[in-house]
Amino acid sequence: MPNPFHTLGRITVPAFLPAAMLLLAPALFPGWAHEALAQDPEAALQVQSIVVEPEALQVEQGGEASFTVRALDAEGNEVDAPLRITRTSGAIVVDEDEGLVRGLAGGNRSGIVISLLLPPGADRDPITVEVPVEVTHPSVTAIHLEAHHPRLFEGTATSLAWTVEQADGSSRDGAVPEFGSSDASVVTVDRFGDVVAHAPGTAMVSAEVDGVRGEWEVEVEPFPAVRMELMGGADEARTGDVLSFEARFLDSDGNEVEGIPASWGHTFHPADERIQPGATALVDEGRFVAQEPGIYRVTASAGPLQARHSVEVGPRHAVQRVNFRGQGRVSDQHTSDFWVFEGNDGRDYAISGTWGSDGWAFMWDVTDPANMVKTDSVQVDARTVNDVKVSPDARYAIMTREGASDRRNGVVILDLADPAHPVIATEYNEGLTGGVHNAFPEEDYLYALSGGQKYVIIDVEDLYNPRTVGEVQHENCRIHDVWVLDGMGYSAQWGCGILVYDVGNGAYGGTPENPVFVSQMRTPGDRTHAVFPYYQESTGSFLVFAGDEILSRGGRALEGGLSREPYDPETDSGGTPSHTAGYIHILDFTDMENPRKVARYKVPEYGTHNVWVEDDVMYQAYYEGGMRVVDVSGDLMGNLATQGREMAVFKSYDPAGYIANAPMVWSAMPYRGMIYFSDWNSGMWAVELEPRQPVALQEDDEQD
């Protein structure tokens, strides 16, 4: 069938894994590592050199360049030897079958690494050749300028946004133009694109990149107001509360003057005199949020006028004690995802997967969280069962497979007629021959990722005879997660950010057989890994929580990466905690076609994994940062981690874990008053929040 799906222009695939990690995970990230397997593995011992032509490559973003690789013996004869080809960064993609390098991100240097694979026990070092690759930008064709406040008055200011258009139709991200003003007595513009109006008149503001110029003609009007007032806000608030102010301007006759842009700021006097004043609040276009208790003065100014409003901000008192309730320990292998559900027999169950552990999934009876009982296990042909989920009607469960011995991964559908002892209904791999990292089950449809390239929509009304009915694929968008809510599919797609499709809602004409593209939003850092859509009843906002995943901390003060193996006393190696990075981006999709980022949850020394939001509470798996519970009620702005919104943190230390005392929380899920979560190193856990204490008691505890 023809491909009806929307495609993007330029996107950037992130280089979030070092080359060494890419070599370890060819099935997890298909196409990022490749092994050309020879008929005779001993042929590698004959190889004395690897010749790559050309010795260096230059490729334009969106274009491609060819290369050839030959393995030669001592006489210069070509040998059919096993080679591995990888890239050193996400600025390129390598098509090893065609011998092509494609440019993804202009203005970067990258490389391809060709390594000889030696048989086990070889007494020589492998030969490795690296070919540098320069990725160039397409030529600039136009610069488009847009003013945040297009109407300027004497003594007011605005900021410019710009788009640098390239010959291939893409925009050049990160390009900073050289700005100028035709008349500095009328307006000036700094190197950041901030424009200040000084006197009535007309001037031209320009922006130039690579000799191409864009212009914005601005007419500065005389300042018309004589009085200014601040409307809205509040006299009292808590840390984390977002207050909205509006600047109102009046002329000499008392009439309101519209369209005057105000500049916003604040001052701070701490509630505790021992705290030094600092950047303890955010104010943006009249929206204000405080991080520390104290008295804040929100100010707005324009021309000769200024107005202010004082707000007394108290502590949020969000903290609740969290208590351990039970553990289903898995200490001989890594645990991956899990799902808790009520079976058709009225008892509570959970299914958990395993990572790098020969394709096991486990069934648990968790009716008594303090006594989790493993009722059964299922093994399939796989290296990793990364994702396990259960349909809303608890009719079936899914196991995703990566690293199958025959490379026919696909999904395994389990019939839950007997939830304690599920049976395999089918192993389905149509269109899913690559590794399946995640999937999302609805009652009659299953949405399964295929090789990191797309998601396939499968009709599972008959569990024993499923059939593919549709798919969603964006060109060059690597996909990691998909979540479906009310017939809308939300996918996390690395450098492409969050993509939204109508996959059956119908509001945009989509069906499972014919999905329709609706919207897209990129996130800072281009590491978009997990997604959770959520309707916030208290505000009427529709939010999407998008999580990063960065499995190393190279270049940071606290470095480190993903640790896989337990301590080995014979070699004195392994057993160290992991160190990850990344955070949660909170996006407002209320206007589905014009989403915007509103807030974040960032604890800088740890990295996020999967997220769940329910009843205005976020349950965040924060890898070595533990299981974290966060108040996400009301309007959101800034970094929630610095606003007193954290309710609880629980770190799953287990001295008998696969890696001892090394918390590594993978997923969290609230269920029947408990919080269940899976830990990569120690299995299944259940904890419970105590009711929130009275404020006076919390204060007494702090003094103690």
CATH number 2.60.40.1080 given to 140-221: yes
What local confidence, expressed as pLDDT, does residue 5 receive?
A: 27
- CATH classification for the domain delimited by 31-136, as one of 2.60.40.3450, 3.30.9.100, 2.60.40.2550, 3.90.1150.10: 2.60.40.3450
Question: Helix (H) and strand (E) counts for the chain?
Answer: 2, 56
Q: What is the mean pLDDT of residues 54-63?
A: 94
Domain ranges of the chain: 31-136, 140-221, 227-314, 316-330+523-704
What is the C-alpha separation between 55 and 537, in angstroms, rounded? 59
What is the C-alpha separation between 193 and 131, in angstroms, rounded? 39
Q: What is the mean pLDDT of residues 260-272?
A: 92
CA 677, 679, 685, 691 dihedral sign is negative
Asked whether this chain's domains 140-221 and 227-314 adopt the same fold, the reply is yes
Q: What residues form DSSP beta bridges with 373?
A: 365
Who has greater pLDDT, 238 or 120? 238
Q: Would you list the DSSP string of 79-128?
A: ----EEEEESSTTEEEETTTTEEEE-SSSEEEEEEEEEPPPTT-SSPPPE
Q: What is the DSSP letter of 568?
A: B
pLDDT at 454 over 50: yes
Is there a contact between 248 and 300 (Cβ–Cβ < 8 Å)? Answer: no
What local confidence, expressed as pLDDT, does residue 271 receive?
A: 83
Q: Which tens digit of pLDDT belongs to each residue from 517-572? A: 999 999 998 899 999 999 999 999 999 999 999 998 988 999 999 999 999 999 99
pLDDT bin (cut points 50, 70, 90) of residue 684 is very high
CATH number 2.60.40.1080 given to 227-314: yes
Q: How many CB atoms lie within 10 A of CB 378?
A: 21
What is the C-alpha separation between 258 and 454, in angstroms, rounded? 48
pLDDT at 430 over 70: yes
What local confidence, expressed as pLDDT, does residue 19 receive?
A: 28
Measured between its terminal Cα atoms, the distance across the chain in Å is 69
What local confidence, expressed as pLDDT, does residue 82 receive?
A: 86
What local confidence, expressed as pLDDT, does residue 89 receive?
A: 83
pLDDT at 698 over 80: no
